Structure 1
Amino acid sequence: MGLHDIVAAARAGDRRATARLLTAVENQTPDAPEVARRVLGGDALIVGITGSPGVGKSTLVSALIAAWREAGLRVAVLAVDPSSPFSGGAILGDRVRMADHALDEGVYIRSVATRGHLGGLAATTGAGVRLLEGLGFDVVIVETVGVGQAEVEIASLADTTLLLLAPGMGDGIQAVKAGVVEIADVYVVNKADRPGADGTVRDLKAMMSLVRREPGEWRQPVCTTVASEAKGIDELVAAIGKHRDWLAGGDHLALKRRRRAAAEIRARVEAALRERYRVTEELAEAVANGETDVASAAERVLRGDGDA
């Protein structure tokens, strides 16, 4: 089967074809550039979901899938998992929790290994999102690893970023700190049937009351859910829809997409430059031993004379 046929099959909903295209993009195979050229366009809603481990991200994703599928939308999920220390691949914990949708032809779920990339995403997540969008999915959900307050990369990728918190996990205190809390477009207090949920909601609202906003700026809502019972999911979907409408109402969505594209281009250029201008062990050793200075060593690398 040629690439044209694989792309056509993927657009028609063939999971194996979609998996082959994603594998090419993730592994940067020789035909990856051609795959990217053939699969362009799309206008999917890109939703990022982040939060500390244990707050119920995967369970919430499963509930959101059910809600959007009931509305007749095709949904794709990129669940970024930590890399396995044995195989280097994704651990697949997220796919286990989303097993209810395994037989739904309108849902595609892919576990993606971080492969050591920091920031909660894999290095090729952006390319994967663009591919799925081009294949005609209506919603693309990106679930991050859940590494805590350093996990801010999702904000540059998603149209709408959800931050999940849960009562009894110290998140109420963390809410007043800078970091991942600042990137959220919608706050979600999950496991809201547990003691302390009201306090977490109060902490978030108190934090937001301290933030100065200009007229017309987006004000992040606080939604409460019990994802395991699908409670509060309709309200959350409505909040995501309102944020999408707000983005589309001005130049916000177009600006976000331009910044995302620029970030992807820079990442690809930087990767090519790192590959082209390699720093050899010999040159690093020469600097470490005081035989040459850093500026002179850098000039050698840029001239293509990287050997000490």
Structure 2
Amino acid sequence: MTAPKEIVDAVLEGRNQAVARMLTFVERRSDGVDDALAVLHRAAGSAHVLGLTGPPGSGKSTLVSALARHYRSQDRTVGVLAVDPSSVFSGGAILGDRIRMSDHGDDAGVFIRSVATRGALGGLSRACLDAITVLDAAGTDVVILETVGVGQAEVDVISAAQTVAVVSVPGMGDDVQAIKAGLLEVADVHVVNKADRDGASRTVAELREMLRLSHRTAGQWNVPIHQTVAANGDGVADLAAVFAAHLDWMTEHGERERRARRNAATRIRWVAEELVLDELRPGVAAFDHALDEVTAHRTDPLSAARQLVGR
């Protein structure tokens, strides 16, 4: 299966069917997909990419759905990439966020896709980053990346999103501890969802104290703590306004360009690692030769590895 030029053109015109087909090509790494992505990359760069992360049960999917509804009320198009754990059998996504957001199914202005982690330790795969490029090139105004929610290990979201929101809820004893362990540093906005529950004020106070104790320098973005009840939409419009304010702040202070360079550096490194690893496996002539030399003690593993990398 190849990614013909006609599909690339249709993606650039913003056709959802073409976007869906292109994302399938991306996930399968079909012939011609890299050339297609090169074209799409040059057309990308206008979308506001939001990353929502946080522990399971914090209501991220409900919040994403409420945000999508708010952006549509402003006549803005929305792309949702819901990162799900991968099936150990097929590599596919298994939780089905599209089912949980089914109320947007008839809205052509909302595109929802589940994306598998495919074993990526930080929660994001190369296909997920390429999917952002596809949605961005298609003219999507806001791309929302909802991560799988595995706690402190899930910090790769900063390599993809411009604005990162860490979502927590009252009443989960280990919730704030998980944020303290790894997610505090990546948050541009802290969201306390399900804020109608008992203990919401305590959760806000704990987050505020953690932020007070964190090492911050002059001129940094002042990370806000925002309360929402996504199930009924309370606080969602104000949260969207906070995201917009953060985008404005990044543009004004040069942070948007710095993050774009950081994210580009991450993507280059990940792709380079894939290309190198693809050559470092049994069956590749150079690798098999190095294997023979090390096995026969004619060279050592470090020297063989350096020679392979040098190629």
Do the aligned partners of residues 301 and 61 (structure 1) sit closer, same or farther apart at CA in structure 2, a change above 3 Å counting? Answer: same
What is the alpha-carbon distance in structure 2 between the residues aligned to residue 220 and residue 137 of structure 1? 26
Q: Which amino acid aligns with 2:43?
A: G
Do the aligned partners of residues 176 and 151 (structure 1) sit closer, same or farther apart at CA in structure 2, a change above 3 Å counting? Answer: closer
Helix, strand or coil at the partner of 1:163: strand
Specify which of 109, 117, 127 is matched with residue 112 of structure 2: 109
Q: Which amino acid aligns with 2:10?
A: A
- The answer as to 2:212 corresponding to 1:209 is yes
Which residue number corresponds to residue 39 of structure 2? 38
Helix, strand or coil at the partner of 1:229: coil
Which residue number corresponds to residue 190 of structure 2? 187
- The answer as to 2:121 corresponding to 1:118 is yes
What is the alpha-carbon distance in structure 2 between the residues aligned to residue 173 and residue 23 of structure 1? 37
What is the alpha-carbon distance in structure 2 between the residues aligned to residue 114 and residue 15 of structure 1? 23
Specify which of 57, 71, 75 is matched with residue 74 of structure 2: 71
Deviation of 1:178 after TM superposition, in Å, equals 3.4
Do the aligned partners of residues 22 and 217 (structure 1) sit closer, same or farther apart at CA in structure 2, a change above 3 Å counting? Answer: same
Question: 1:56-86: CA deviations, max 9, x gaps?
Answer: 1101000000011111111101111011234
What is the alpha-carbon distance in structure 2 between the residues aligned to residue 237 and residue 33 of structure 1? 34
* TM-score normalised by structure 1 residue count: 0.90
Question: 1:92-144: CA deviations, max 9, x gaps?
Answer: 42111111111100111110111111111123211111121111101111111
Out of 295-304 and 185-194, give the one that drifted further: 295-304
Helix, strand or coil at the partner of 1:273: helix
- The answer as to 2:305 corresponding to 1:298 is yes
Answer whether contact 2:189 2:223 (CA < 8 A) is retained.
yes
Number of residues of Structure 1 aligned to a counterpart in Structure 2: 304
Which residue number corresponds to residue 221 of structure 2? 218
Do the aligned partners of residues 188 and 2 (structure 1) sit closer, same or farther apart at CA in structure 2, a change above 3 Å counting? Answer: closer
Do the aligned partners of residues 2 and 35 (structure 1) sit closer, same or farther apart at CA in structure 2, a change above 3 Å counting? Answer: closer
What is the alpha-carbon distance in structure 2 between the residues aligned to residue 80 and residue 87 of structure 1? 15
Q: Which amino acid aligns with 2:110?
A: V
What is the alpha-carbon distance in structure 2 between the residues aligned to residue 183 and residue 302 of structure 1? 33
Answer whether contact 1:58 1:97 (CA < 8 A) is retained.
yes
Out of 229-238 and 209-218, give the one that drifted further: 209-218
- The answer as to 2:282 corresponding to 1:275 is no
Which residue number corresponds to residue 8 of structure 1? 9
What is the alpha-carbon distance in structure 1 between the residues aligned to residue 233 and residue 108 of structure 2? 21
Q: Which amino acid aligns with 1:273?
A: V
Answer whether contact 1:172 1:204 (CA < 8 A) is retained.
no
Do the aligned partners of residues 289 and 16 (structure 1) sit closer, same or farther apart at CA in structure 2, a change above 3 Å counting? Answer: same
Which residue number corresponds to residue 89 of structure 1? 92
What is the alpha-carbon distance in structure 1 between the residues aligned to residue 16 and residue 278 of structure 2? 33
* 1:148-297 → structure 2 map (5 Å cutoff): 148-171=151-174, 173-174=176-177, 177-278=180-281, 293-297=300-304
What is the alpha-carbon distance in structure 1 between the residues aligned to residue 51 and residue 310 of structure 2? 42
Q: Which amino acid aligns with 1:28?
A: R
Question: 1:187-236: CA deviations, max 9, x gaps?
Answer: 00011111111110000001111134333210110011111111110111
Cα RMSD of the aligned pairs, angstroms, is: 2.5
Do the aligned partners of residues 204 and 21 (structure 1) sit closer, same or farther apart at CA in structure 2, a change above 3 Å counting? Answer: same
What is the alpha-carbon distance in structure 2 between the residues aligned to residue 141 and residue 285 of structure 1? 49
Question: 1:31-79: CA deviations, max 9, x gaps?
Answer: 1122113323230000000011111110100000001111111110111
Out of 212-221 and 6-15, give the one that drifted further: 6-15
What is the alpha-carbon distance in structure 2 between the residues aligned to residue 82 and residue 2 of structure 1? 26
Helix, strand or coil at the partner of 2:266: helix
Do the aligned partners of residues 172 and 110 (structure 1) sit closer, same or farther apart at CA in structure 2, a change above 3 Å counting? Answer: closer
Helix, strand or coil at the partner of 1:111: strand
What is the alpha-carbon distance in structure 2 between the residues aligned to residue 303 and residue 225 of structure 1? 53
Do the aligned partners of residues 283 and 177 (structure 1) sit closer, same or farther apart at CA in structure 2, a change above 3 Å counting? Answer: farther
Helix, strand or coil at the partner of 1:275: helix
Unpaired stretches in structure 1, ≥5 consecutive residues: none
Do the aligned partners of residues 66 and 302 (structure 1) sit closer, same or farther apart at CA in structure 2, a change above 3 Å counting? Answer: closer
Identical-pair percentage: 46
